[in-house]
Structure 1
């Protein structure tokens, strides 16, 4: 049975030299993906709210607030910068049978702590590897969604472990950091059920902030309940049930997907499929009488109507968690990017009308295939004359079986952040991340200021 000590020893024993070349490369691609998305999110009102709140509470600090003037404490920088990474719902995901968290939710917290501690790029990569590994293993072996907890319940533990690494905490301090984080910050699933609101895109930032604060408390001598997992009324007793983890030096990063479309994780194959179908058949949306999606249980539950009405779509947070909206917009526009989440587009008559003829069903066979590692989708589009066109998908570009490399990620950065990032700055940012081992963390964060 997993213990807090087991995680703390993993943190202590895992260093940059333990990471394979493939793991290092994959982690750096995760960093590029995350900062590109963050740049694009700077103009979003919820991230501006976070910025106003952070700067209202603090007047400067040693850590960079990405995309803004001034700085903040590592705690508030983690909050602000994680909000940027997460808000657009364009970040990475780890695909486990019972949980799909976003390991990139931990990156900005580790970066903030590493900047505070004046770490090297090698030390940063070790911290991120630890956070990714723990996030993935918790999701795989101790899913919490069906128990009513949000996946950021994993994030706060994983981020605290990565932060403990870059802060140089010893084994006891690391236990305390993980213990405080995991005891005090367990988020409810209601964040992603019913009528979704903007907190959905900010909840992981709150977890990242709490992770850094927990580690800072431990660094300054605060004890925590070091039997967090195994203790009476502890994490396994109350939240997850007994479980074991099998921790490797960051190898779980290879099981992380990159989003091709601005859409909830489980929608990626279906959206890619409907775009392919529309382009292949030259479909006229005005003549579409129905769209049927057969998918797996998790997709039906989260974005297909199992946890709330997904046909009443009025804002961005609701749109990117509504399969009816995403499929309708993708068929109409042959794309699902930032433009499809502008309020005017969301409320437009054509997409509002079309989303109401989308039907989503869960298929047990597709659920089995998902749990075996695929992301299957079967999309049928029926026309007014009765003709039906079908596309079947096993996965999508960006899935671990079809990963997006450096060229694809640079293209993604250009697409989402090109208007905000001149070519020379973009090239310098990409090259710095590609060669992160050769730089200090402050060199990276200077490019994000």
Structure 2
């Protein structure tokens, strides 16, 4: 039976030495990926909204608000810095049959606490490993999407467990922190259904903030409901239903995490890669396209294909990166899908708006079975005005766990996100520090983000 005691004991047992070479390497890749994306989001309007809010309520402290030169509390830093990691929708994802959370939602919270506590890079990796293992196990064994809860309901538990570990809480304190976080901060799925707005990209930052706040409360002596999961009207009864986690101190769930090649929702990655390849290989003129048909799996059709709201009415960035019709249309027109694909000018182009109305998304049971077996399948047909139909079929994409990105791939992605802010020498220092993080202090790394 999964309990707060089990989670707390697991976190206290994970050490840098318990992690294999491949696990350490993948954690470093996720760290670099998260930092690059965060830098790329520093000038976003929504990031500025969160920053101004944090500035209003937060005082001075030991944790950096990345890119600002300012120090604040770990709670405020978790809120703002997680917004940077998450907002562009370019972050990593854990692929489970019933849930697809983003474990990198934990990174900024753990970094903030580790920075405040003066942790080493090796200790940071151990705490990040805890976050990825807990998030992955919850997604696999206790999906909540179908019961009306948002996936950041998992994040507040994983982030509290990992941040509490980084804070150095003892087992009982950590149980209290998890109990507070998991009882008080459960998020509704309405965030990602119907009309999508900017909260979609900030909900995980709120969860990270709440997790760190719960950790600080527990460290100051606040007791929490340690029967969070199994208690009467507790998490299992109300949120998830019965489940059991299989937590492993080797923390290999990070190996099942994908990284994004395109700035697009997770379930769109294979389809977008396919249509980009098709457009280039066949030299398709988008003005001649009469219809785009996507056959996909249940989750993609439900979340970004129209099952949870109209995905053809696209006016904003938040709607665009949650719409298969928009993402496929923009990718076909531009031959790419980047940050610039979500500017108002790009979204409202007549050609893209016309094309997205031709897109149909069809759920296929066979593809759903393949997805649940570990693939991310997509079949895209593009019909043009002379009757020709071009087809591409994909089982995965560059960045899927079966086709993981190399260090070279991730460094290139990092450079694409950070070139406007840092010169080559500074970018190289960040990359080198992350790759050798066990030989550095956490403070060495975050100091490079000013």
Q: Residues 233-382 of structure 1: matches in 2 within 5 Å?
A: 233-248=233-248, 249-382=250-383
In the TM superposition, residue 71 of structure 1 has moved relative to its aligned partner by: 1.1
- The match for 2:212 is 212
Partner of 1:8: 8
| Equivalent position of 1:443 in the other structure | 444
CA distance in 2, matches of 1:30, 1:92: 7
Q: Secondary structure of 1:420's partner?
A: coil
Q: 2: CA distance between counterparts of 1:275 and 1:223?
A: 53
- State the Cα deviation string for residues 177-201 of structure 1 (Å, max 9, x = none): 1111100000000000111000000
* 1:31 and 2:31 correspond: yes
Per the TM alignment, residue 405 of structure 1 is displaced from its structure 2 partner at its CA by: 1.4
What's the CA shift for 1:130?
Answer: 0.1
| Superposition deviation, residue 420 in structure 1 | 1.3
Does structure 1 residue 136 correspond to structure 2 residue 136?
A: yes
Q: What is the Cα deviation at residue 96 of structure 1? A: 0.3
How far apart, in 2, do the equivalents of 1:279 and 1:209 lie? Answer: 43
1:82 is displaced (CA, Å) by: 0.1
Q: Distance in 2 between matches of 1:428 and 1:356?
A: 46
Per-residue CA deviations over 1:315-336 (Å, capped at 9, x if unaligned) read 1000000000000000000000
Spell out, residue by residue over 1:272-312, the C-alpha distance to the aligned partner (whole angstroms, 9 max, x if none): 00001111111011111100000000000000000000000
Q: Distance in 1 between matches of 2:362 and 2:72?
A: 47
Whether the 8 Å CA contact 2:63–2:112 is kept in 1: the answer is yes
Aligned residues: 449
Root-mean-square deviation (Å)? 0.6
1:179 — aligned with what?
179
What is the alpha-carbon distance in structure 2 between the residues aligned to residue 43 and residue 344 of structure 1? 17
Instruction: Check whether the contact 1:338–1:416 (CA below 8 A) recurs between aligned residues.
Output: no
| Map of 1:46 onto structure 2 | 46
- Residue correspondence of structure 1 range 418-437 to structure 2 within 5 A: 418-437=419-438
Can you list the C-alpha shifts for 1:195-214, whole angstroms capped at 9, x where unaligned? 10000000000000000000
Distance 2:58 2:322 in 1: 34
Secondary structure at 2:294 match in 1: strand
**Distance in structure 1 (CA, Å) of the matches to 2:186 and 2:280:** 44
| SS at 1:42 equivalent | coil
Report the alpha carbon displacement of residue 448 of structure 1 after superposing the two structures with TM. Answer: 1.0
Aligned-partner Cα distance in 2 for 1:109–1:192: 23
Deviations 1:363-396 (A, max 9, x none): 0000000000000000000011111010000000
Query: Deviation digits for residues 31-60 of structure 1, max 9, x if unmatched?
Result: 000000000100001111111111111232
Q: Distance in 2 between matches of 1:53 and 1:250?
A: 35
Distance (whole Å) between structure 1 residues aligned to residue 236 and residue 161 of structure 2: 18
Q: When the two structures are superposed, what TM-score results if normalisation uses the length of structure 2?
A: 0.99
- 1:413: how far off? 1.1
Is 2:370 the partner of 1:393?
Answer: no
Matches within 5 A, 1:114-129: 114-129=114-129
Counterpart CA distance in 2 for 1:162 and 1:5 is 14
Q: Distance in 1 between matches of 2:448 and 2:421?
A: 13
Q: Deviations over 1:152-200 (max 9, x none)?
A: 0000000001111111111100101111110000000000011100000
2:418·2:427 contact (CA, 8 Å) conserved in 1?
no
Structure 2 distance, partners of 1:58, 1:75, is 9
Helix, strand or coil for the counterpart of 2:419?
Answer: helix
**What 5-or-longer segments of structure 1 have no aligned partner?**
none
Point out 4+ residue stretches in structure 1 off by more than 2 angstroms: none
2:391 partner SS: strand
1:161 aligns with 2:186: no
Supply the distance in 2 between the matched residues of 1:429 and 1:359 (Cα, whole angstroms). 43
Whole-angstrom distance in 1 between the partners of 2:417 and 2:348: 22
| 2:377 and 2:394 in contact (8 A); partners too | yes
1:295 and 1:377 in contact (8 A); partners too: yes
Alpha-carbon distance in 1 for matches of 2:122, 2:69: 27
Per the TM alignment, residue 69 of structure 1 is displaced from its structure 2 partner at its CA by: 2.3
Structure 2: state its 5+ residue gaps: none
Match of 1:99 in 2: 99
